Structure formats: C-alpha cells, structure tokens
Amino acid sequence: KKVSKMDENKIIEIISQGENSAVEFKEKNVKKESIAKEFVAFSNSYGGVLMIGVGDQKEILGVDSVFNYEEWIMNIARQNIIPAITPIYEKVLLDDKEIIVINIAKGKNKPYQTINNKYLIRIGSTNRVASQDELMRLYQQSGFFHYDLNGVDYTSMTDLNLTQIDKYFQRYDIDFLSESENEKLILLRNTDIMTSENQCTVAGLLLFGINPQRRLFNSSITVAMFKGNEINSELIDKKTIDGTIDIQVDTAVALINNLIPEASTIEGTKRVALSKNFKTIVFRELLVNAVVHRNYSILGSQIRIFIFDNRIEFKSPGRLPNTISVDKIRAGVSYAINPVIVKFMENLRYIDKLGRGIPMVCNEVKKIDKSINFEEQGEEFCVTLYL
C-alpha cells in the first residue's frame, strides 16, 4: 500500500542511516532461515526494523509484487522461531518500487531461538550466537533462572558474619549461635543463604558476607562527583563503597547528602534554604532499587553514582526484565530479578512490600518541581535526578 508522506519520510530517514543495531536490509531473494535469524536477534535484544527490498548500500531494489510476502513472513514468525513472535508487517511504495517493512518488538519471552537451536543477539549491525554469560542473562530476564541463588565457588560458612546472621534470626525468635553446627547449616540452606553443597549463595554473601567483594568482584557502589555537566569534566571526588549491600546503601546515602550542599543564605539569625532539595528517602529508594535489581552476573561493572552540577545519575548493571517497561516502573510495577535478595531486604525493612517505592520517588520529585528520568542504556539501567 501507499504510505503517508510523513511515514515515507521516516522510512527514507531510517534507510539513509544504514544498517545498525536496530535496522537490517535484505534483498527480495532472501531465504527464510536468514529472516528467522534476524527475528531471533532483534527479539533477544531491543527490537528493530527489517526491510526487504533494500540493498546493503541503501539502494531501493524493490520486491516481487505478485509474491505473498505477508503470509510468508508470518509463517516464519510462527514456525521458525521458538517461542513464536508477532511482527508488524507493512508493504510500502518508495521510488515506484514496493518494499517490505517489518517491525520486531523487544521480546517479552526471552530467550528466543531458531528451529536450529541458535540463540542469537544483535551486536551493532550484525548477529552473533549468544555466549554462555549472555544466554544466562537472557534467562534471568525471563525469570527462568535467578543468579542470586547460585553458589559462589571457594566459599563456606567461614565467609559469613555469623553475628549478623544471629541478629537477623533473632527477629524470628531463633537463637542461631546456640544451634549445633548441623542445625546452623540446615537453617542457612533453608533460607537460601547457603546451597545444599554448603557454598554461600550470591544473596547470602551480599547480605551476610564478611568480605563479599573478595569473591563477588565489583559488587560495589562507586560515587563520583564532577565539576561540570559532562563525564569528562574535572573529577572532584570519587569513592568506592564495599561491604554488604545494606551497608553500601547506608554509606552511599550519607555520602551523597554530604556531597550535595544545599544552597542557602542568612536571614537575621537563621540560615534559610534558597532551593528545595531532594529528601534522603529519594536517594535511599533509588540506591536500594539499584542493589536489589542489578545483574550480579555482570562481573565487570559496578553500580555507579555520578554527581554533576545539574543532575545525579544512578547507573545499575543489567537490563529490565522482559515484562517490565519504564511506564510500569513509574506505576509501581516491579519484578524480582534477585528474589532472595529482595526477600532479605524486605525483612531488613529496606523495601516496601507494597511496591510504593518508585511512585513515592516520582511524587517527591514532583513536589519540589524537579524531574526524573528512567532509561535503559545498553547493558545498564539509568535513573537521572535533575537538580
């Protein structure tokens, strides 16, 4: 069909940019196996647009007008991809030639694979088979696998702070330190602090470890303050916060409050604030969300807090789960990537069980006429508070 002028201009603009992480061109004689691979890679990544009848050099080649591309495409989406997807199909006219434009959404049922059992992801303008780590992250996003339940190699009960664990169990009227070694192990296994193989779980080490970063590299928070609004501005201060994640949150909140002085003036004998600042509870909630929902299988990254003159950025490793969007986050919908960590942080009163945290943050931001932004940036999730 003929598209409207605005749609036509948009398609021309997409073609002019060439192939990239969200755009792929195919000629009319493309094989269905090739189409299936593109569908899988886009679905496992951030979605994208596939155009048939466009050459690699961005030339408009067109397709056979008598061939039923729509039925062919929909059959590939249903029969050649596991699980099946539902792309949006459109035939458009450019330079008196018909081309096919197919929109593939970011998948909600990751990981996707071809009928030949290939799990593909999109990297730049090419597709490649997902590595073991990447495939594990896809399963995490789907909820089929929870990394925080994994045992940590070379750990045992000696890596845990038994005094802190005793303090935790006291609220349930359990005298942990008085139990026999065997009963202690049973308690630690039943609460997912340790595995059946007597290793500390990721969650157990992060909540009760003596030195979690010894085995879980980069499971830390870095706070950096810049003089200016760009990442290449002068670095004023930088600190890395280690320890268990509750200690990390408390320390990071105190540090942020200390690094952001409130503009004020003296009126008579009183100091009066010139501008409204964010409440401590806002920083605390965003930090708790970062430590609870980050992807701890990404060992090369830390949670990073960047303080600029005009904003604060909270960057947490890992993408949003399949079923969660930014709009759902604002509405208070959440999904536990790390359910054991969530359980402990709820019991330690760091998390509101009713899911009111982010809506509260958005409300507090609105009260003082500031703004907040939630965004996926590659393999990170970023929350920005504008000062």
Tokens describing residue 348: 């330690």
Residue 383 has pLDDT above 80, yes or no: yes
Question: What's the whole-number mean pLDDT along residues 155-182?
Answer: 94
pLDDT confidence band for 170 (50 / 70 / 90): very high
Compute the distance between CA of residue 135 and CA of residue 121 in angstroms, rounded to an integer. Answer: 9
Provide the terminal-to-terminal Cα distance of the chain, rounded to the nearest Å: 48
Compute the distance between CA of residue 41 and CA of residue 48 in angstroms, rounded to an integer. Answer: 9
Q: What is the pLDDT of residues 341-378, one digit of tens each?
A: 999 999 999 987 556 788 999 999 999 999 999 998 87
Collapsing DSSP to helix, strand or coil, 66 comes out as coil
- Higher-pLDDT residue of 271 and 181 is 181
Residue of 41, 55, 44 lying closest to 127 (CA atoms): 41
Question: What's the whole-number mean pLDDT along residues 312-323?
Answer: 85
pLDDT confidence band for 261 (50 / 70 / 90): low
Q: Give all strands (DSSP E) within the chain, no chain letters.
A: 23-26, 48-52, 81-82, 88-94, 97-104, 113-114, 120-123, 126-129, 221-227, 234-241, 264-267, 270-273, 303-307, 311-317, 371-377, 380-386
Place of tokens 């202690």: 184
Q: What is the pLDDT of residues 177-197, one digit of tens each?
A: 999 999 999 999 999 999 999
Residue 145 has pLDDT above 80, yes or no: no
Compute the distance between CA of residue 141 and CA of residue 300 in angstroms, rounded to an integer. Answer: 19
Compute the distance between CA of residue 71 and CA of residue 29 in angstroms, rounded to an integer. Answer: 16
Question: What's the whole-number mean pLDDT along residues 27-52?
Answer: 93
- The lowest-confidence range among 272-281, 326-335, 371-380 is 272-281
What does each C-alpha distance from 272 to 76, 77, 149, 257, 265 come to in angstroms? 66, 63, 50, 18, 5
Instruction: Report the mean per-residue pLDDT for the chain.
Output: 88
Predicted pLDDT at 107: 85
Which residues, at least 6 apart from 226, have a Cβ–Cβ distance to it below 8 Å?
233, 234, 235, 236, 306, 307, 308, 309
Q: Count Cα neighbours of 111 within 13 Å in the Cβ-side half-sphere.
A: 24
Q: Which helix (H) or strand (E) holds 74?
A: helix 69-79
